[in-house]
Amino acid sequence: MRPHALSKAACAAALAAAASLAACQSTPPAPKANTAALPTMERIALGANGCWFKSGDAAFKTYRLAPELNSFSGKPRILVVPRRSPESRPLLVVQAEGNPARLSAFGPLMDEPVSARIASDVKRWAAGATGCS
């Protein structure tokens, strides 16, 4: 064979191998959740509202959600306040700052038995998961 014919054959084989590899690849991984403070807190607020409050969860029945996502301090947050006294001091504050977001949760509810659930839910929603535990 001529050297020129060999390179065409090698090229054709390489193209065939590349095409077969491309056909076997699975779907690309889902994009990662935006880790900046605001989108992280938006996900947490949606999760908390749906799973803790709108679902009628008994652990949160006497509370209400007060989101404060438009923060000029760069720390968007959600507050959990008494249902009948929303102007009262928050019983739970979950806030984030920076990119990637640094989360903190504090307040009297973090000293209650529900605190482990709050922490795991917040971490899960921050990572991009949806749904209730």
% the chain with pLDDT above 70: 76
β-strand partners of 79: 66, 93
Measure the N-to-C terminal CA separation of the chain; round to a whole number of Å. 67
Q: Can you give the pLDDT at residue 31? A: 57
Q: Are the CB atoms for 65 and 48 separated by under 8 Å?
A: yes
H-helix segments, the chain? 3-24, 37-48, 115-126
- 109-114 contacts: CB < 8 A, separation 24 or more? 109/80, 114/59, 114/60
The number of beta carbons lying within 10 Å of the beta carbon of residue 89 is 11
| pLDDT tens-digit map of 57-101 | 999 999 999 999 997 888 999 999 999 999 999 999 999 999 999
